[in-house]
Amino acid sequence: MKKVLVALAALLLVYLVITYLISERVLDTPNRSLEESYRIGTERWGLNLDSLRAALPPPEEVNITSPVGGLTQRGWLYRQDSSRCGIIMAHGYNDNRMSMIKYTPYFDRCGCDLLLYDHRGFGESDEAYASGGVNEAKDLLAAHAWFGAETGLPGDRIAWLGESWGAATVLLAAAEGTTNLAFVVAESPFADWHSAITERGVREYGPILSVLSPGTFQWVNFRGGVPYASASPVEAADKIAVPVLLFHSRADTLTAPEQSDRIAERIRSDLLTYHALEWGAWHAHNVVWRPQAYVALLENFVQQKAPGFCP
């Protein structure tokens, strides 16, 4: 009996060590530099980022203080000579604000001020554990308040656009219902943090990850200080009370399109416009595959759901 107990204790210890190490990967925020994102955008995806940036007003380097931990988030503010609207853009995982330049042309033509910032732990913002969008949503709400005060724009003249990790963030923040807002654009979000991690992990490590997942996320709760179950756009979706434009590629192999399907089922039908696109685009790259068609869908949504936002 003693040998059995010793063996079980040893197995438990091994399980705890392995799941702790996996939790480090979940909580860690890979710090890709702005220069690396620029290189990937231009060389891998063929984006003319120099041309896109040259078309914008000169960027101002800005710092925004987070209400969670007081850390500093860094970004670019693009001011129009006479702003009529504003857009805040939230980037995806393992990336930074540079990756959001590809979304700027339409909103620049609308005469919008633009805020592109790095999430906590990413780019040039202060180091922090990831929280699946929970703390990131609080950061976004703080950025929204800062942006409104800085530009003088009322809340109903400001919209949010998020990609992947950032898409989950904008949905969670919108569900808080504490901010006046024009609309939200969510490109390729995950339904919840747990399923997003597990989905990718099973592809990378095989079915064994399903056994390791419970212990891993208990470590995530303990070490990150945020209940992982609250990082769930699908659970928050029915609380959203502003128009939502949701995109997902049917060819997405990183975050399954069914994750957006689940979110779409929970958002009020009168507020939702959902495009599950058959363009063959990689994860969160619909705008890269067919930029003109993408902008046409975006423009149609704005005209229908937020008339007057883009005169």
> Can you point out the beta strands (E) in the chain?
59-65, 72-78, 85-90, 112-117, 158-163, 184-187, 244-249, 272-277
State whether CATH 2.60.40.1580 applies to domain 39-207+226-305.
no
Domain spans of the chain, in order of start: 39-207+226-305
**pLDDT (tens digit, 9 = 90+) per residue, 151-175?**
999 999 999 999 999 999 999 999 9
Token pair 């759901």 in the structure block, residue: 305
Token pair 């569900």 in the structure block, residue: 175
**pLDDT (tens digit, 9 = 90+) per residue, 98-134?**
999 999 999 999 999 999 999 999 999 999 999 999 9
Least confident of 70-84, 107-121, 189-203, 264-278: 189-203
For residue 144, give the H/E element and its range.
Answer: helix 134-151
pTM of the model: 0.94
